[in-house]
Amino acid sequence: MSLELFLLLAGALFCVGLFGALTQQSIVMLMMGLELMLGGVILGAGAVWHYVAPAAADGQVLIVLAVTAMALEMAVGFAVVTALFRSREVDMTDMAAELKE
């Protein structure tokens, strides 16, 4: 596969994630959109790194670290959403925005 196809796929993932993040009001769906956006960025970065320096393992290590950080961030985010829902039954972004008062 060529670099253009990888970047096209990465751009499509990012656009789908951006659409999901901007149009959804459910906190879980918003987080899923952000996850797709990060996946698109990581895919694009990994593809560019592979075509720039295919013999170096630096890009692979960086991608593994980014995916690990993304998984940890989503786990913490889902834990916060679960705690919000259990304590106050808040599952929409509009209701969660009222909690800062």
Strand, coil or helix: what is 80?
helix
The domain ranges of the chain are 3-100
Architecture of 3-100 per CATH? Orthogonal Bundle (1.10)
Q: Residue type at 70?
A: M
Q: How confident is the model at residue 17 (pLDDT cuts 50, 70, 90)?
A: very high
pLDDT at 84: 81
User: How many angstroms separate the CA atoms of 47 and 43, rounded?
Assistant: 6
Tell me the pLDDT band of 98, cut-offs 50, 70 and 90. low
The Cα–Cα gap between 101 and 88 comes to 14
The predicted model scores a pTM of: 0.81
Q: Is the pLDDT assigned to residue 95 strictly greater than 90?
A: no
Separation CA 48–CA 82 (nearest Å): 37
Q: Which two tokens stand for residue 95?
A: 């209701």
